[in-house]
Amino acid sequence: MGCDPAGLAMDALTVCAAAIPDQLQLKVKRHDYWSEPARLWVAKIGLPSTMKMPIQNAAEKPLKRIDAELYKEYLEELNAWKEQKEEDRDEKPICKRKRVDDSTTEAMQNVMHDNPEGLMGSHDELSGLFGRLEKYGGKGSGADRAFWLRCYNGGSYPVDRVGRGSFHIANASVSLIGGIQPDPLRKIADNLPEDGLLQRMTPVFLAPSKVGRDDPIPPVSERYEVLIRDLSRISEKVMDGSRVIFSPEAQEYRAEVEVRNHQLLSVETFNGKLAARFGKYDGLFARLCLTLHCIKNVQKDVLSDVDLDTAKQAAGLLFDYILPSDMALYGGILGVADNHDTLTDIAGFILSKKLNVLTYRDLSRSTRKLKKLDHRDARALFEQLAALGWVQVSEDKNPNKPPSCVVNPQVHTEFAERADQEAARRSETVALMQSLGRAER
């Protein structure tokens, strides 16, 4: 296809998760009721040339075929039901589904009502989904967002709407894939409420596409289709509430992963959005474990224990691929910190002035935003810079004393070229402002 294989891999993994019915879950800890299903949300990020939709169509093809077969079966049952005399009819047939396309919240809820095993939500453009979530504004928007938050977590969801009446969804569950371009994502993130909806999505950055090849389709494609069909039939082997557990060795390893995930939460001092994303890692690790476990054992016994090898594979995917992708999203597209622009200005000032020590006075001179900076806010900025490895804060913790810190000399070595650029930019800005001042006079 010429596309980035990472997009195919993550979309295919999400389709596998969607095919696995929700009644099968993984019990995360030995002495806890907490369990996770195989439910993933993946957002492919790239320009139009990165082939987001061809990737998605290729990954979804087996599930689309299953869905078409289920709909054909439903039509046959419905026609047979209609041909019966009214007094002889049983309950009206239910339309079983495995996926939905770009559905509105109302349509999704109607389909979910009859499909408690979970659905695959496919979106050409995730910006459209976010746009629909905001279409009502205020009260209506909040209700729709609450529904989608539940779709990630799963579980029962009551629907009470004027004009539609009231009904109960036994299990609001959606595995989600879609694509989005960087600029719309940045604008959406700036306006999103702090409810963690974006942090539930695993970003996949797509490399530019290349020229494809007209080669015979490899056998792996056929095996993938068989796999998706086998995964969708797991419900025939398990009962509602069936739970897989970690083997003793895998459980010990899971505890180590939990410690590492907890350490990641320290980024909260300078990026709350990224910390909120890391807060999802324990559950995401369990979901990856269950998905990989089912893929490996679908022809054997899916109710066997998750072994150490599978747990290590899931951790490898989490820390070697997903973690760097999250850092790229929250540290690149969305800004490394909640006050990213301010920290960038301070860093540029440090480089341009070749500072070895950064003082409170330096901060107030670094950018116009900090002209009236108080001591406590200055210390918070110093601590953020320290967390990013740029400075070492002085030991004096007196909140009433102007803080100062030592600049890490390595930043001047690593960003020497950037320092020259920053010094030139600031000189040009000063010259421009001076010339404008003379022109006004």
pLDDT in the model for residue 432: 65
Check residue 105 and give its pLDDT. Answer: 81
Domain locations in the chain as residue ranges: 5-238, 340-440
Per the CB < 8 A criterion, the answer to whether 67 and 53 are in contact is: no
pTM, full prediction: 0.76
Tell me which amino acid residue 92 is: K
CA dist 142 to 132, 147, 194, 324, 331, Å?
12, 9, 12, 31, 28
pLDDT confidence of residue 315: 96
First vs last Cα of the chain: how many Å apart?
A: 63
Give me the pLDDT at residue 56, please: 93
CA 312-4-189 angle, to 5 degrees, is 80
Q: pLDDT at position 138, please?
A: 46
Q: Are strands 242-245 and 119-123 parallel, antiparallel or unpaired?
A: unpaired
Nearest residue to 363 (alpha-carbon basis) of 340, 339, 341, 347: 347
Domain 340-440 in this protein, CATH class: mainly alpha
The 3-class SS string of the chain reads CCCCHHHHHHHHHHHHHHHCCCCEEEECCCCCCCEECCCCEEEEECCHHHCHHHHHHHHHHHHHHHHHHHHHHHHHHHHHHHHCCHHHCCCCCCCCCCEEECCCHHHHHHHHHCCCCCEEEEECCHHHHHHHHCCCCHHHHHHHHHHHHHHHHCCCEEEEECCCEEEEECCCCEEEEEEECHHHHHHHHHHCCCCCCHHHCEEEECCCCCCCCCCCCCHHHHHHHHHHHHHHCHHHCCCCCEEEEECHHHHHHHHHHHHHHHHHHHHHHCCHHHHHHHCCHHHHHHHHHHHHHHHHHCCCCCCCCECHHHHHHHHHHHHHHHHHHHHHHHHHHCCCCCCHHHHHHHHHHHHHHCCCEEEHHHHHHHCHHHCCCCHHHHHHHHHHHHHCCCEEECCCCCCCCCCEEEECCHHHHHCHHHHHHHHHHHHHHHHHHHHHHHHHC
Q: What confidence score (pLDDT) does residue 399 get?
A: 61
Contacts of 364 (CB under 8 A, 6+ apart): 370, 371, 372, 373
Is the sign of the CA dihedral 180, 183, 184, 190 positive or negative? positive
pLDDT score recorded for residue 252: 96
Strand partners, 247: none
pLDDT of residue 157: 85
Q: What is the pLDDT of residues 7-64, one digit of tens each?
A: 999 999 999 999 999 999 999 999 989 999 999 999 999 888 899 999 999 999 999 9
Residues in the chain with pLDDT values less than 70: 134-142, 161-165, 192, 269-270, 332-341, 395-400, 402, 429-430, 432-441
Residue with tokens 């077969």: 69
Partners of 160 in the beta sheet? 166
Q: According to the model, what pLDDT value does residue 136 have?
A: 45
Token match 């390595």: residue?
410
Do the bridges between strand 157-161 and strand 165-169 make them parallel or antiparallel, or are there none, so unpaired? antiparallel
